[in-house]
Amino acid sequence: MLWDWEFAWSVFPKIVLDGLRITLIATVAGSVLAYLLGLALALLRRSGNPVIRSVTWGFIEFIRSTPLLVQIFFFFFVLPDVGIKFDPLTTGIIALGLHYSTYTAEVYRAGIEAVPAGQWEAAVALSLPPRRTWLAVILPQAIPRVLPALGNYSISMLKETPLLLMIGVLDIVGAADQAGSRAFRYVEPITIAGVLFLLLSYSASLLVRWLERRVAYSN
């Protein structure tokens, strides 16, 4: 029999309770880290210091040009040799957040550049300090414009979390693989994992579309 409902129901709770929890933690925490680091990188790209701009650009290009899996391995296997060590889940979150921050940085940069020049000129005319110009004028207009794009990167990050299995983090796929290896039966657990990812990705895409409509409406 290709599909065994009894076995499927027996492994379903573990995949959902354990694997789904880890997947959501990695995705949410990684997204928050990517958003914050990405904003910092975008601001550094606009620094008046050419050295800072060049170093930031080089860092972004280096991270974007190397595979995420290599970066995960670097954080997990190489950094402990110099005394920097984290547990597998924390390592995965840092790797995901850092990798995707280089993409969100470009999204923020595009949003900032889309703010009309008149807004900058008005801030200068009012003699607003740079900090207040950014926090009260520029970022409140730039960030809503880029929310849908940031959401799309979070969806991409969600689908990258199975890579963390390589360092022992049991996300949905890891929990499914473990359940299948114990019974030497993989059809049910892997199918359940695929369906869960489909539901998560589709739900997240609906949220992103809703954000796109809200942003378009507000503009």
So what's the pLDDT on residue 218?
A: 60
What is the percent of the chain where pLDDT is above 90?
58
Q: Where are the domains of the chain?
A: 5-218
5-218 topology per CATH: MetI-like fold (1.10.3720)
DSSP label at 81? G
DSSP label at 166? G
Q: State the CB neighbour count (10 A cutoff) for residue 206.
A: 10
Nearest Cα neighbor of 28 from 144, 206, 150 is: 150
Q: For residue range 189-217, what is the model confidence (pLDDT) as tens digits? A: 999 999 999 999 999 999 888 877 776 65
Q: For residue range 1-17, what is the model confidence (pLDDT) as tens digits? A: 688 888 888 888 888 88
Q: How far, in Å, are 2, 48, 146, 203, 212 from residue 208 at the CA level?
A: 37, 34, 11, 9, 6
So what's the pLDDT on residue 63?
A: 95
Average pLDDT estimate for 127-132: 79
Q: What's the token pair of residue 42?
A: 């975008």
